[in-house]
Each structure stands twice: as structure tokens, then as C-alpha cells.
Amino acid sequence: MRWALIGASTIASQFMCAAFRAAGHQIVTVVSGSADLAARFAEANAIPACTTDLAAALADPGVAAVYISSTNEKHHAQALAAIAAGKHVLCEKPLGLTLAEAQQMVAAADAAGVVFATNHHLRCSGSHRAVRDLVASGRIGRVLSLRIFHAVHLPVTLQGWRINDAGAGGGVIPDITVHNADVARFLLGEDPQTVVAQSATSGMGQGVEDSAMSVWSMPSGAMVFAHESFTHPFAGSGLEVHGTEGSIFARGVMTQRPLGEVELVTAGGRTSVPFASDDLYTVAVRQFARAVAGQGQPAATGHDGIASLAVALAVRQAARTGTRQTVQYGA
């Protein structure tokens, strides 16, 4: 498959270029708002062409799909343009700044008959898939609670729009809470119904929150706790799923790499759980390509992206108002 990259971003250079190539695909061009950045990005990542002209890139019949990894406020317009040009879309999270934007993107893709996916990488990790399989198999009985520990330290190189530009979609809630929402939905197979939350600026955020804690109620009665931050250098990451018959401890698994460990604890004792170590992003790209070929769905669909954004928006509203919010998933 031949791709155009929209956005000369860190995630594209650090992970996605390698993922496309590992899946046997080609990157034919990169589109950036800056000619200089586009040229530097293309050279550094061995991409044969670059442009600031999105329409020209989309007019290339040789481009089958686009990967959108610009800042968050640009995803909506860029995705609509790509869909109108008949391209399949792999879009970064959050899909948009509002639920209406995300819904419009997914509806447009559905109407155009193109594949639209959200780059929620964590559901592509072997560790998360192993946890989900354990939960689904009933090994821990009825799920009582899920705790997600996703307080990290934002690298200096990324301490730009994420921490100081609300207009670009900055803040830890659009950045990390969306991932945690997707994790909860993926692991438990149900959608958060209501949320309570608090957020804070604890050293990095300028006009946007850099930390959040929230509790979500699930339809089954299970409770989810989610903690996100940009300011925690030594916290480590992980998740725990607790059930009536056992608990699963997954340490170091809220990450971009296939790392960490998963342990199952039941009345029978403690067991280390093996999991696949495939690159998360390559798994996502391969599954996207199969969907384009008519074989199943992408790892995370557009509807998954709408749902994760809906939860994040509810968390932000709950934190701002100090009141419980019902998650509005839309029609």
C-alpha cells in the first residue's frame, strides 16, 4: 500500500515510518504546513517527495491511504479532505477537538466507503491482548474494577503545544485519557457510562491540565480508575484488573513498545502470563491493510475513536464543573 503522511510529526518519524515499512508498505510523500520542515522530514526519513500542498498530495492516484499525525485541531479538516479524495485514513487520536468533528469524519468515511481507523496503539500490544483474553475467558470471574496508571513524564522534546496550546488540542486529557478510555473499552468490552474527575496543573501545563484522575462507572457495575499525567518521572505505568476469582497485574504496559509483564493471581497462586512482542504500530498498520483488502476491521475503528473522545470530553467536563457527567457518545 502507498501512503501519504499528513504531518511531519515525532510519532511519524519515531514509530510510524518504520511500521509502514515493516508491513511492506511505501511512504510516497509527506505533507507539512512548513516547506522547510517537510523537506527536512522527508530527507531524515527517506521519503521521496514532500509538499505543503495537501490537495496536490491527495490528487495523486498512486496514494491509497493517508496517515494523519498533525496537531489535534487539524485532524478534522485534513481527514475530510482525504476522504473526499477517496483515500483510506489512519488518523491519530484524538480524532478531533469535539465529538461533532469526530462524528463528521467517521460519517464521511462511511458514506465514501473508505476505511477509517484511529491509531489507538495500546490495543495492538500483546500485553493488552493477553489481559483481554484472560478477562474474556472468565479466569478472574466477574470484573469488579480496573485501575489504569498512566502518569508519565513528557519528554522535553514534546513539551510544546501539548502543554501550552489549548487551541491545538493540548492537555493531558485529550492526549492520554483518550488512550485510557480505549483501553478500558477494549479490555472490558463495555463503554463507560458516567464519570467523576479532577484535573490539575502540576508543573508543566500552561492554560491546559497536565494531570487528571477520574473514576468511571461501567454498565456491568465495574468501576474504572484512570490516572494520567505529564509530570511524573518515576511513577511507572500499568494496569490492574480485579475480579471475583482473580486479579491481573500488568506492569509497564502503557507504552509505545512491546514491554512490561503480566501476572495472574488467583487462589491457585501467581502465574506469569506470556504475550506476543510484536511492534504495536506494525500490528495496527497490518490490520488496517487487511481492512482495506476487505478482511475485517482496523484494530481501532473510527467509532472507537469517537467513543474514546467522548469519554475524554466527559472527564474534562467533570473536572471543570466538579459534577458527575454522563458520557455523550452521540447518535
3-state SS class at 284? helix
Min dist. Cβ of residue 326 to ligand NDP (A): 25
Cβ-proximal residues to 107 (8 Å cutoff; 6+ apart), any chain = none
Is 234:152 a contact under the CB 8 Å cutoff?
no
Smallest CA-to-CA distance from 173 within 329, 70, 316, 11 is with 316
**Dist. CA 299–CA 213, nearest whole Å:** 27
* Centroid of chain to Cα 215: 19
Looking only at residues 222 through 281 of this chain, which bind ligand NDP when binding is defined by CB under 6 A? 256
Examine residue 9 and tell whether it contacts ligand NDP (CB under 6 A): yes
Nearer to ligand NDP, 45 or 69 (CB): 69
Q: Which whole-number Å values give the CA distances from 247 to 54, 134, 252, 267, in the listed order?
A: 49, 10, 16, 10
Parallel/antiparallel/unpaired status of strands 65-68 and 88-91: parallel
Min dist. Cβ of residue 173 to ligand NDP (A): 12
Nearer to ligand NDP, 29 or 72 (CB): 72
Considering only the stretches 66-74, 124-132, 209-217, 234-242, report the one whose residues sit in contact with ligand NDP under the rule CB under 6 A.
66-74
Examine residue 8 and tell whether it contacts ligand NDP (CB under 6 A): yes
Examine residue 160 and tell whether it contacts ligand NDP (CB under 6 A): yes
Min dist. Cβ of residue 93 to ligand NDP (A): 6
Among 4, 17, 19, 32, binds ligand NDP (CB under 6 A): 32
Examine residue 11 and tell whether it contacts ligand NDP (CB under 6 A): yes
Is 34:9 a contact under the CB 8 Å cutoff?
no
Considering only the stretches 67-75, 82-90, 230-238, 244-252, report the one whose residues sit in contact with ligand NDP under the rule CB under 6 A.
67-75
Min dist. Cβ of residue 211 to ligand NDP (A): 17
Examine residue 72 and tell whether it contacts ligand NDP (CB under 6 A): yes
3-state SS class at 273? strand
Examine residue 34 and tell whether it contacts ligand NDP (CB under 6 A): yes
Q: Which whole-number Å values give the CA distances from 175 to 67, 68, 116, 136, 275, in the listed order?
A: 18, 15, 20, 28, 26
Min dist. Cβ of residue 79 to ligand NDP (A): 12
Min dist. Cβ of residue 110 to ligand NDP (A): 22
3-state SS class at 90? strand
Examine residue 10 and tell whether it contacts ligand NDP (CB under 6 A): yes
**Dist. CA 81–CA 83, nearest whole Å:** 5
Examine residue 35 and tell whether it contacts ligand NDP (CB under 6 A): no
Considering only the stretches 68-76, 187-195, 247-255, 313-321, report the one whose residues sit in contact with ligand NDP under the rule CB under 6 A.
68-76
- Torsion sign across C-alpha atoms 277, 124, 285, 78: negative
User: Binding-site residue total for ligand NDP (CB under 6 A)?
Assistant: 21
Min dist. Cβ of residue 168 to ligand NDP (A): 8
Looking only at residues 84 through 113 of this chain, which bind ligand NDP when binding is defined by CB under 6 A? 92-93
Cβ-proximal residues to 265 (8 Å cutoff; 6+ apart), any chain = 246, 247, 248, 249, 271
**Dist. CA 42–CA 46, nearest whole Å:** 6
Min dist. Cβ of residue 50 to ligand NDP (A): 10
Examine residue 78 and tell whether it contacts ligand NDP (CB under 6 A): no
Nearer to ligand NDP, 119 or 214 (CB): 119
Give, as one character, the DSSP assignment of residue 266. Answer: E
Applying CB under 6 A, which residues contact ligand NDP? Answer: 7-11, 32-34, 37, 69-72, 92-93, 119, 121, 158, 160, 175, 256
